[in-house]
Chains A and B, each alone.
Chain A
Amino acid sequence: MTPGEREEYALRESVDGLRLRHPDYSASRVLTGIQWMALAVLVGAIALGLIFAPLAVGLALSGTITAVYVAMLVRNIVMFRRLLAPCAGFEISDAEARAVPDDDLPCYTVLVPAFGEPEIIASTLQAMEGIEYPRTRLDVKLLLEADDRATRAAVVAARPAPHIEVVLVPPAQPRTKPKALNFGLSSARGDYVTIYDAEDRPDPLQLRRAVVAFSRADSRLACLQAKLDYHNPGQNLLTAWFRLEYLTWFGFTLPAIARGDTPVPLGGTSMHIRTTALQAVGAWDPHNVTEDCDLGVRLYRMGYRTGILESTTFEEANSDLINWVKQRSRWVKGYAQSWLVHMRHPIRLWRELGTRGFIGFNLMVGATTLTSVLNPFLWTLTALWFTLHPVSLSSIFPDPIYYPAMLSLIVGNFLGYYAGLITLRATGRSELLKAALLMPLYWVLMSLAAIRALLQLLISPFVWEKTVHGLDTPLPEPRT
């Protein structure tokens, strides 16, 4: 094969690999035929019901929605208890990480996708060069789009170290990060793969820690997710909220999920995967805008397990509101995509995940999306009820539905708010107090983003809205 043919083959693999080999796992179609039918039946039933038996339809809707919220509440209570008893992931000390001789270390592939990042690519390269790992065994691939001249020029100007390979991804639809990752994976040499975004500053010993952790675990452990944190929390209220959310998620929630019998939704970066396992499950889905969540579920379905690595990668928190909304919408859209993809064969999913995993998956990926979209509507209904007491509302919320719904509203919100305060205390980050006290405003923002996501899913499913980076305040000049 000529290099050109190889490149074209790799590109086709990246875009169509999963779709052709495991079509059931590909988000290239948003809904399967059966799902379309189910949706049509549901919509039809609701429409007919509204004409002939509106009360029954109203009751069915309010009952189903309340049941979902109550299920979420139960899960949140369980999670809350885990908040007070955090489970640690794989803890590898610095000494242990450095104890492995260089010759015993496996080859490690680091994929760094970057698109339109000319401002920060220099610091990206710096961060990658800071990784403590023998350069001969390190396979760093900087994945740039071939037509991204600005970033390419910036890379050339930054003069990367020789072990950093620049891979040019030929332009092709869909223009997403997972497609670039698949392309990079096709020429990966390492036994392990990890991803870092352009704005990441990983713990230099993270790769070594991962190697040691993998060597201690059994072969079923195919993936280790490191923790993410932000290096610019003090910038504004939004970054403080983001940080608090990440602290809770990576410090408490994710370790608890990893310990339980449910699939682990991965973070966007710093997940360390055995290459063989990654290739066996079909690598990333280029049509899914949250390829990390999708991969996490797919790994679990195919029998692999994910653990948590006690090592932190620092990212840049979104300080701009519009930017944040776009990023958040993408996450919600991706979760909805993932849910639809994996629920194509619910019975098979249930068998693969087990009952607990199935429920956990539905609550985590499906219900979270659904509830964040429904929240503004329900809040409006509640406000309406409190002020006007319309009879139409009371008729579709009889006592058996009304009281659980009220309970989930009060207790659910209280637990969320309280969990923020407890996270603060348990992690000692008292500077985030204001953010924790104002959490309800953050929830309103999240709901707005979720609505936007739903609309996007219906209109343009594969659009990947690039998050603008480099907005963090520059470091002050050192005083002489």
Chain B
Amino acid sequence: MSSVAVARPRTRSLSWRIHLRRPSPVMLCFLISLVAYEAAAFFVCFHGNTGALAGDGVSRVEIANRVLFSRDPHLAAIGFVWSPIPELSLLPLVALKPIFPVLVTGALAGNIMSAVFMAGAAAVLLGVLTDLGLGRGLRWTLTAAFALNPMIVLYAANSMSEAYFLFFLLLVVRNLHLWLRSRETGRLVATGFYLGFAYLTRYEAGAAAIAVTGVVGLASFTAASGGLRRRLRPACIDSAIALVPFLTAFVVWAITSWLITGVAFQQFTSQYGTEPQLKAKGLTPPSTLSQTLHLAEQGVHWMLALEPLLPLVVIACLVVVIRRRNWVALGGPAVLAGVLAFMLYVHMTLQVLPALRYYIAAIPLAILLIAITLSPRPAVTPTPTPVGTWPDGLTASANARSGAWRARLGGPLRIATVTVALLAMAVAIPSAGGALINPNIAGSVNGPAAQALVTFGPLTSAEKQAELTFVVDRQVSVYVDSLHLRPGSVLIDDFLGYVIEMASDDPTQYVITSDLDFQQILADPAANGVQYVLIPPPIGLGNLDAINRAYPGAYATGKGIGTLVRTFIDYSSKAINWRLYRVAT
């Protein structure tokens, strides 16, 4: 057979030398923030008895723990009430539990990961500020104003999902802004993807999705030419590109939930969901307008506690934007404002347990508005990134002119807006710090940890009591471990008892709610080899406990279960006095 002797295409030779390059500013910001936040994470975990932790944060570590180490390890134990990404990201760290038990027993894994994502959020913010054209000094100052905000530091360190959410939300903001300037499809695709991921970290991303769709549709519509119909089509396509990943995440998650649990939207209908929790705590949705307005006022008050000058900054930013006719700059803030508006709405209608952390998006929003106010006038249209670049949210693009903002001062209006912006930047940190310590605003959820981070001072007696949270759970865990039971011996609903299982040396001895045969065992514990049952008192959230629901009166008298072995007294403010019952055979 005749064949032409040709050289085969050269295979790329692998270079084994590691090229050390100077890290980009965004990467540098990430590394610095990471070190700082990890320090805070360790501090929050180990300061004061490891009790100073937010319940939701600890719960996430327990979820990852039960997926891997429970009696019935399976991925679906992730649960469908919350979005999956925070728990999934903990799996690799929790898998190291045999080597470092404190990752789970002290819930350290959660703190470590939330610190990583919040550092990422700070880095992305630096990227956004760079894109806006701010000088180097100013953009690092503003990033520091964000990163050092006590609220941000606390939520970097306490394993809550706000860190994950802010990370993806800021990526959405950044790519949306870049798309608005360059109209390059790759950026829109990136926005869509990050929006989808944001949904998988917190459901509030739905509000962001609506805002993004509105901004994208409007921008596309106004940019197109021709009649109404002709302009509508590109607007539809662009909105579809931005929305399809989010919708996919939404539908797939709902279908998965429906497949495994039979319910598509657990966050709304679950027995442990928000509505029953509110009821259990004695909170009812507002029925009169004055009640609604009172709640709205509370929400606004909390938002302003974090960012006191936010309304003024909004006005200053609008003034600047209108003067320059630089409408695209409003795209990013619109997304964050949309999320905040949604949170205010659910607060007003009491569809969630009101909490200060729902307004955390106000902090990056204020920073963004300040940045726009202080940004130099864009002299030339920035060159769009070439089509060949894969959108990478962590790479800073665009050139920034350094120290140019001083030269832009001109005119009283300019002086006024700049002053407002600088004041807002200065005031935010002390205000947020004060808000966190204020029990009326922050509640007792983060009390001791916040106090520790903000003041480094000694705790008051009330805070000391709050710090005793989970102490009794650990005592229960130690006691049960000392009984050396075989797997499947202790029945417990991990809705409230998650720390008990988490702190245990042998999680397989517990039958927990996520086990596939939980309902069957709950119906007849004795027949399924269960020897003990742990029950919380039927007050407040304890009413939602599965055992209390299945066996009313069991806590008081052991009715339907067996005999009381021990009561564990909880001296924290939560006062969950666990009772251990021996199952009657």
Contact = CB atoms under 8 A, between A and B. Distances in A.
B1 A21 contact: yes
B75 A280 contact: no
A133 interface: no
Interface stretch (B3-11, B49-57, B569-577): B3-11
Interface residues of B, number: 32
Contacts of A277: 4
Given A424-B237, A437-B240, A81 B390 contact: yes
A187 interface: no
A442 interface: no
A85 B233 contact: no
Contact of A425 (B2, B75, B185): B185
B189 A84 contact: yes
B186 interface: yes
Interface in B256-303: 259
Contacts of A418: 189, 241, 244-245
A444 B187 CA distance: 31
Interface string A420-440: 011011100011010011000
Contacts of A84: 185-186, 189, 387, 390-391
A274 B406 CA distance: 66
A258 to B, nearest CB: 12
B234 interface: yes
Contact of B389 (A85, A425, A430): A85
Given A303-B4, A354-B8, A421-B244, A433 B185 contact: no
B244 A354 contact: no
Contact of B9 (A81, A261, A421): A261
Interface in A61-89: 81, 84-86
Contact of B6 (A86, A304, A425, A431): A304
Contact of B388 (A21, A85, A430): A85
Contacts of B389: 85
A85 B391 CA distance: 10
A85 B237 contact: no
Given A261-B9, A303-B5, A414-B248, A421 B237 contact: yes
Interface in B382-421: 387-391
Interface string B215-236: 0000000000000000001101
A302 to B, nearest CB: 5
A5 interface: no
Contacts of A280: 2-4
A22 interface: yes
A450 to B, nearest CB: 25
A426 B4 contact: no
Interface in A373-430: 386, 399, 403, 410, 414, 417-418, 421-422, 424-426, 430
B434 to A, nearest CB: 46
A421 B242 CA distance: 10
A430 B189 contact: no
A255 to B, nearest CB: 12
Contacts of A6: none
A349 to B, nearest CB: 13
Query: What interface size band does chain A fall in?
Result: 20 to 34
A244 to B, nearest CB: 12
A418 B237 CA distance: 11
A433 B236 contact: yes
B252 interface: yes
A466 interface: no
Interface string B459-493: 00000000000000000000000000000000000
Nearest to B230: A430
B4 A433 contact: no
By CB atoms of chain A within 10 A, which of B74, B240, B388 has the most? Answer: B240
A163 interface: no
Contacts of B1: 21-22
B241 A86 contact: no
Contacts of A345: none
Contact of B75 (A22, A86, A399, A421): A399
Interface string A213-230: 000000010000000000
A269 B566 CA distance: 84
B238 interface: yes
Contact of B241 (A21, A22, A356, A422): A422
A302 B8 CA distance: 10
Interface string A77-118: 000010011100000000000000000000000000000000
Nearest to B184: A84
Contacts of A303: 3-6
Contacts of B74: 399
B6 A433 contact: no
Contacts of B4: 277, 280, 302-304
A379 B241 CA distance: 26
Nearest to A25: B1
Contacts of A431: 233
A354 B390 contact: no
A343 B390 CA distance: 35
Interface string B123-150: 0000000000000000000000000000
B255 to A, nearest CB: 8
Nearest to A85: B388
Contacts of B245: 414, 418
Interface in B1-48: 1-6, 8-9, 11
A403 B233 contact: no
By CB atoms of chain B within 10 A, which of A22, A277, A303, A436 has the most? Answer: A303
B75 A302 contact: no
A386 B255 CA distance: 10
A431 B4 CA distance: 47
Interface in B74-88: 74-75
Nearest to B3: A302
Interface string A11-22: 000000000011
A277 B6 CA distance: 13
B233 A410 contact: no
Given A280-B4, A354-B11, A418-B245, A85 B189 contact: no
Given A280-B4, A302-B4, A430 B237 contact: yes
A425 to B, nearest CB: 5
A476 B74 CA distance: 65
Contacts of A356: 11
Given A418-B189, A418-B244, 11 more contacts: A21-B1, A84-B387, A85-B186, A356-B11, A399-B75, A421-B237, A422-B189, A426-B185, A430-B236, A431-B233, A433-B233
17 contacts: A81-B390, A84-B387, A84-B391, A280-B3, A302-B4, A303-B4, A304-B4, A304-B6, A399-B75, A410-B248, A410-B252, A414-B244, A418-B189, A425-B241, A431-B233, A433-B236, A433-B240
Interface of B: 1-6, 8-9, 11, 74-75, 185-186, 188-189, 233-234, 236-238, 240-241, 244-245, 248, 252, 259, 387-391
